[in-house]
Amino acid sequence: MNPSLLIVDDDHSFAQSAADFARSRGFQPFHAQTLAQSRQLARSRSHDLVLLDLDLPDGNGLDLLQDLDAPELSRIAIVTGQPTLETARRAVSLPVSEYLLKPLCPEQFDALLSNAAARSQPLPTPSGERLGIVGDCAAMRQVMSDIERVAPTAATVLVHGASGTGKELVARAVHARSGRSGPLIAVNAGAIAPDLLASHLFGHERGSFTGAATRHIGYFEQANHGTLFLDEITEMPLQLQVYLLRVLETGAVTRVGGTDAIPVDVRIVAATNRNPWQAVEAGALREDLFYRLADFQIELPPLSARGSDVILLARLFLQRLNEAYRTEKRFADGTERALKQHTWPGNVRELRSAVLRGFLTGDGDVVHVRPGGRRVPAAHVEHNDAATVTFTVGMSYAEVEREMLRKTLAHFGNDRTRTAKALGVSVRTIHNQLARMRRTGQV
């Protein structure tokens, strides 16, 4: 696969010249004229080099850096025709590749492209990696098998698991194996204001509401012939869930303020960090939409239930950091043992952050990873009241639900019907939750 270049610049002449030059060096160029477009292109795929202008129609190009992880910053080259002391100081404080002035001389650009092409060569495949996902425990092997089984089909996929377990990685793996020609577009339904979400998803026509100065193509149309990843689907307003269901049933969208039904060929992967059935019973997810989204379900286990996978992942994160910063750092003695002993309430995201923090703050070539920045005491039962459960602020919903289920079952002598009635859920929900707890070793 050719290395890719993202040009973020509203100067059409410069962007066209840069794209032609990069194409002659074997790169696949992409062009964004605004900060919003650059964020969308950065989310939809990884780029080997980004030429970033600072003065964009909708903001400062440096604002894009806030959306990127630290290793990705080394792929950024800031190219500006209006340098200032403030932007230079801000850029120097970040591990960006270069801070260059326009016009960009061919020798400089050629050197940037050569370095980016060299970095684009794939790293050795870590032990336990399949489909871009690292894991060797039984639960993760099942996840990978499920991905390979469902990816080539047209089935919608619902991925659920605690925050930080890798739901977007699963969506990207499904898309990569789907054979679909269009892009993967990722949308967090909980991160967009409810009154703007319809416009973002389905698009809008010019003049359809105050501020709609031009026609906007929504995520469904952008993802045509590809995959739309709807993260945090249970955070979508119910009225939009109705329209989403109609789009899924008809295969067509109508832009806000429009009348024409526009056919779209989009594969849906949705995700939630909540138990889907409990979300349905709580009224956060329409039951008819749940059935339409959940042709195939994939459940991700917490990192605490994945055994030695924590070591595989930590080594991979360190390997990528060494590659990005051209270092040869290693873990301090005893680090891996400490990693396995930690419970990782933030899952893989917390582990990645801990490794990065140790990498950046350590002296010399030895990395000390100190997990436990957010230690959450487990729920406990008061000894003087066997029917009372005390929860600690900071516990996840999943931990609260598991402890409440255990205690209520014990209170009713393991009678699942009475337990379901007391908790206000169905007996099926009790059976499903217990099955999940058994699979992840929590009962």
| Residue after which a domain boundary falls, among 269, 299, 329 | 299
Same domain, 294 and 254: yes
Cα–Cα distances in Å, from 89 out to 48, 67, 79, 82?
Answer: 24, 19, 14, 14
Domain annotation covers residue 86: yes
Tell me the mean pLDDT in the region 160-166: 93
- What is the number of alpha carbons within 13 Å of residue 75 lying toward its C-beta? 25
Digit-coded pLDDT (tens) for 16-57: 999 999 888 888 899 989 888 888 877 766 788 888 888 888
CA 247/CA 375 separation, integer angstroms: 43
Does 15 have pLDDT greater than 80?
yes
Domain annotation covers residue 353: yes
The pLDDT value recorded for residue 374 is 47
| Residue after which a domain boundary falls, among 280, 299, 318 | 299
Radius of gyration over every alpha carbon of the chain, rounded to an integer in angstroms: 24
Q: How many residues does the chain have?
A: 443
Cα–Cα distances in Å, from 183 out to 27, 44, 348, 396?
Answer: 18, 7, 25, 33
CA 23/CA 228 separation, integer angstroms: 28
Same domain, 70 and 151: no
Digit-coded pLDDT (tens) for 406-422: 888 777 777 788 888 77
Domain annotation covers residue 291: yes
Greatest alpha-carbon span in the chain: 77
| Residue after which a domain boundary falls, among 250, 277, 299 | 299
Structural tokens at position 346:
């933030």
Paired residues of 133 in beta bridges: 130
Name which of 108, 87, 79 is nearest 15 in CA terms.
79
The pLDDT value recorded for residue 379 is 43
Digit-coded pLDDT (tens) for 319-372: 989 888 888 899 988 888 889 889 999 999 999 999 999 998 877 888 999 876
Same domain, 359 and 250: no
Same domain, 189 and 293: yes
The pLDDT value recorded for residue 227 is 95
**Residues 6 or more apart in contact with residue 24 via CB below 8 angstroms:** none
Q: What is the 3-state secondary structure (H, E, C) of 190-239?
A: CCCCHHHHHHHHHCECCCCCCCCCCCECCHHHHCCCCEEEEECHHHCCHH
Same domain, 166 and 268: yes
Same domain, 201 and 263: yes
Q: How confident is the model at residue 105 (pLDDT cuts 50, 70, 90)?
A: confident
CATH number where 427 lies: 1.10.10.60
Specify the pTM. Answer: 0.61
The parent domain of residue 247 ranges over 138-299
**Residues 6 or more apart in contact with residue 63 via CB below 8 angstroms:** 35
Same domain, 281 and 418: no
- Our count of domains for the chain comes to 4
Does 245 have pLDDT greater than 70?
yes
Same domain, 283 and 337: no
Q: For the chain, what percent of residues have pLDDT higher than 90?
A: 36
Structural tokens at position 169:
């990685």
Digit-coded pLDDT (tens) for 250-278: 999 998 888 889 999 999 999 999 999 99
Same domain, 144 and 202: yes
Instruction: Please report which residue ranges of 286-396 form alpha helices under DSSP H.
Output: 287-293, 309-325, 335-341, 347-361
Structural tokens at position 410:
């014990």
Contact 41, 32 (CB under 8 A): yes
Same domain, 12 and 157: no
